[in-house]
Chain A
């Protein structure tokens, strides 16, 4: 994404009014969200004692990483013009499956990780089959899969939570490498790989092409169905990963875990500049969106704002972000 050079806005005295308005709009569109983010951080640093402490910052990023994994997968799906509502249920199902394979008295690590992770692509495959093969709209297909997957999580544990897991498995959510919590390291790794895949690889280019104009993608020989399958597999895998990290963090799994996470992830992705119509978006934007929501929620907690107001404020941020994104310069 190319941004408008700052000097263009301030040095061209000969710009007409309409031109100047458009330039200011582009400035807001390109940098507005970053300014809002920095404003929130500065504001909270001044108004509270506890915001800008190492513990709190680490806490924000660690908490955000769960929605972060999901939002990164969702970004791939939304760039193709799709949506995946099943990711919250995948968090629940992968969590209980992994937890059931990691009892407290064992050293289980690889088995719960691998089997729990496999839940995601399996659900993603069903999503893709319904969308690509049966031609059902992504919203409806993944809505149905969302319900079915949640049902399976409840059936699997008979509606009961699973608690007390193996310490080795718990390390994924509560361990640290040096001073840095494992979930943060995992989030950074996933974000860097995803950003590379979208921006620098042929696959990423084809994801954008399918979202921009599926017909022209097909004409030039891009396997459109294969690309669609891939993005739903990725979204499922990352949602399952989020479920595993969450389960490991709280040392237990609830079949209802992750309820509503799909909407938080979609909000973060949209705040980060990804278009619901496909073809536009980035991992960097999504990470910023995830962190912005994390900072706002944390800040409002620190300021003792009631949770009713918190949700209202998050809705407001979503609207502002959507309006700002309209003004992006390209």
Chain B
């Protein structure tokens, strides 16, 4: 069932969709080719192939244990595939560690945003990659809080938001925290941001907010993969989506080519009623 707000959001979306990259001709930013992953006897992924275009918003749908998270952990270097290839800009890469994936512009925004509540916004954005000033020819290095504050303000402004970078994250709402987490990715030149259940920890205006964010990221040339089990969210924001089930991709669609009902059947049963009718004939 589509809520009225989601319909409004969807129509707003279709106006902007023509701004998007032409999926048929552009070179994908990332290609996943025949990815398999086993944990002992369990086959978590069985030959998954997907591609992600620069600047597009892509939704990865599926139930729990469909393999969405495992696939994204492979894309971010947390796990390594049992076999299969990852290509970035057409070139095969091996992501041994999260840092390797990050160096290629692939960043993850976790469901709980993975922020340190006790630190301020700028410290969180630069956590692990702090800017420093050198004294005595590099002998002494101290944190450059002023520079980090200025850059933090810039990335937050790039998301059309305004926040004092010296505010502690503890004081922020769910939406503001999400912006900080995305700002962290942007501060390090992310080209593809993976958002795990992006509305799970937001209180109000969830889908509209997410739509705004993905538009901003699109304008900045940053692609987004949304991992979700919420259809309204995927339909509202994504230009393309894929459905996963039991470690395989069971469907790939462009927005507008399929109904929520069909996708819902695909998620739960692996086939749509339409496909079943065809098979029965």
Q: Is the CB of A216 within 8 A of B116?
A: yes
A187 close to B (CB within 8 Å): no
Within 8 A of A (CB), among B129-148: 129-130, 132, 141-143
| B 45-88 binary contact with A (CB < 8 Å = 1; else 0) | 00000000000000000000000000000000000000000000
Q: Is the CB of B116 within 8 A of A209?
A: yes
Give the distance in Å from the alpha carbon of A215 to the alpha carbon of B117 in the complex: 12
Q: Is the CB of A212 within 8 A of B118?
A: yes
Known: A202-B130, A202-B143, A205-B143. A217 touches B116 (CB 8 A): yes
Within 8 A of A (CB), among B90-136: 98-99, 108, 110, 114-119, 123, 127-130, 132
A45 close to B (CB within 8 Å): no
Which of the segments A112-120, A155-163, A218-226, A248-256 contacts the partner chain? Answer: A218-226
User: In the complex, how many angstroms separate the beta carbon of A162 from the nearest chain B beta carbon?
Assistant: 40
Q: Is the CB of B143 within 8 A of A219?
A: no
Known: A205-B130, A221-B99, A221-B128. A212 touches B116 (CB 8 A): yes
A287 close to B (CB within 8 Å): no
A213 close to B (CB within 8 Å): yes
Give the distance in Å from the alpha carbon of A217 to the alpha carbon of B114 in the complex: 8
User: Chain A residues near B143 (CB, 8 Å)?
Assistant: 200-202, 205
B168 close to A (CB within 8 Å): yes
User: Chain A residues near B170 (CB, 8 Å)?
Assistant: 330
Q: Is the CB of B142 within 8 A of A200?
A: yes
Q: CB < 8 Å: which of A200, A209, A279 contacts B127?
A: A209
A211 close to B (CB within 8 Å): yes
Q: CB < 8 Å: which of A201, A221, A280 contacts B141?
A: A201
A241 close to B (CB within 8 Å): no
Give the distance in Å from the alpha carbon of A222 to the alpha carbon of B98 in the complex: 12
A69 close to B (CB within 8 Å): no
User: Chain A residues near B206 (CB, 8 Å)?
Assistant: none
A105 close to B (CB within 8 Å): no
A169 close to B (CB within 8 Å): no
Q: Is the CB of A221 within 8 A of B98?
A: yes
Give the distance in Å from the alpha carbon of A202 to the alpha carbon of B142 in the complex: 7
User: Chain B residues near A208 (CB, 8 Å)?
Assistant: 116, 118-119, 123
A2 close to B (CB within 8 Å): yes
**Nearest B residue to A223, CB-CB:** B128
Give the distance in Å from the alpha carbon of A110 to the alpha carbon of B127 in the complex: 40
User: In the complex, how many angstroms separate the beta carbon of B156 from the nearest chain A beta carbon?
Assistant: 18
**Nearest B residue to A220, CB-CB:** B128
Give the distance in Å from the alpha carbon of A206 to the alpha carbon of B166 in the complex: 17
CB within 8 Å of A: which residues of B?
A: 98-99, 108, 110, 114-119, 123, 127-130, 132, 141-143, 166, 168, 170-171, 184
Q: List, sorted by A's number, 29 A–B pairs whose CB atoms are closer than 8 Å.
A: A196-B142, A200-B143, A201-B141, A202-B141, A205-B119, A205-B143, A208-B118, A209-B116, A209-B128, A211-B118, A212-B116, A212-B117, A212-B118, A213-B114, A213-B117, A215-B114, A216-B116, A217-B127, A217-B128, A219-B98, A219-B110, A219-B114, A220-B114, A220-B129, A221-B98, A221-B99, A222-B127, A279-B116, A279-B117
